Amino acid sequence: MELALSPEQEMLRDTANGYLAKQAPSWATICDMGWLDPDLELLDEVVLFEATGAALLPEPLFSTRLILPLLNGTRLLDDTKRVALAWTEEGRPTTFTGTFATTLAGDRVSGRKVLVAEGDQVDAFIVVTDNGLAVVDASEAQITPRQTIDLSRKFSDVEFGSVKATPLETPAGALEALQSRAFVLAAAEALGVGNQALQLGIEHAKVRRQFGKLIGTYQAVSHALVDAHIDLELGRSLTYWAAQTGAEQNAAAAAKAHTTAAAVRACEVAIQVSGGNGMTWENPLHRLYKRAQWLNSYIAGEDRLYDTIAGSLLP
């Protein structure tokens, strides 16, 4: 399997990195740059989300691109609308599948979703109910912002009080496929987060002197940075492989499990290398670390994912 990027994907990567290094684009700019193009392949999206992950992009691109396959060809929403999937409920599993207390009766949705990523930034919700999916305009819902460890990504609790909705027809297995897709996109974002943190640690090791020498010359420092790099590169291979398989279930789970955990470890190494400076509020490392922790726990943690993979392989 060819895991190298095409010239077009390299151009997308360079363009995204170059733009994000200068400024955080507005939603209108994101639309103009083609980042919502429904024809982007999954590996294209991986390239894009590695760049946006490194920049901790504050716009709801992750939530919107995730569910584009559910909306393609439906004409339910304008191509520039910001959308989020609302599925998590209090006291219930965090996976996309299972039983849900939120109800869909005719064209009315009733229920409460918690910790909806970017919920106060979107124009509409795709709501997972006991009777399939439904599209609800954000103006119909009661949205309550909720603070979490990741201050760079906003979360909200969303109440649907018998609000008007449009049922969304989906094929069998659509949510399972969407979950695997979410694993791949989360792994891609984690690649960006982890590599950005690692680069900050490397830059610090190049200039910080201790005992008359650059700290990067000490093996305890340089070896830790190299190990983190190798860890992330394995994650890159797994993520590219998962994208090439079209987010096959085990490939996607393996990519998410390893890469998000590798990003957490890379952030921890970078913070340790940076010493006391690594824990200051002004240093961006704590924001990257918090995003990595959220990505690691998103939908399912690494232990649960490895158990799922093992269960599918064992007789």
pTM: 0.95
Q: Is residue 235 part of a domain?
A: yes
Q: How confident is the model at residue 310 (pLDDT cuts 50, 70, 90)?
A: very high
Question: Same structural domain for residues 145 and 247?
Answer: no
Residues 274 and 215 in one domain: yes
Instruction: Return the closest-CA partner of residue 257 out of 282, 235, 276, 287.
Output: 235
The answer to whether residues 164 and 178 belong to one domain is no
Last residue of a domain, one of 119, 142, 170: 170
Q: Is the dihedral of CA 230, 231, 235, 238 positive or negative?
A: positive
Domain count, the chain: 2
Res. 312: pLDDT tops 80? yes
Query: Which residues form the domain of 215?
Result: 174-313
Boundary (domain end) residue, out of 170, 200, 220: 170
Backbone angles phi, psi at 272, to 5 degrees: -65, -45
How many CB atoms sit inside 10 A of residue 28's CB?
9
Residue 218 lies in a domain: yes
| Mean pLDDT, rounded, for 127-153 | 95
Do residues 259 and 252 touch, judged by C-beta distance below 8 A? no
Residue at a domain's end among 144, 170, 196: 170
Question: For residue 206, what pLDDT band results from cuts at 50, 70 and 90?
Answer: very high
1 pLDDT more than 70: no
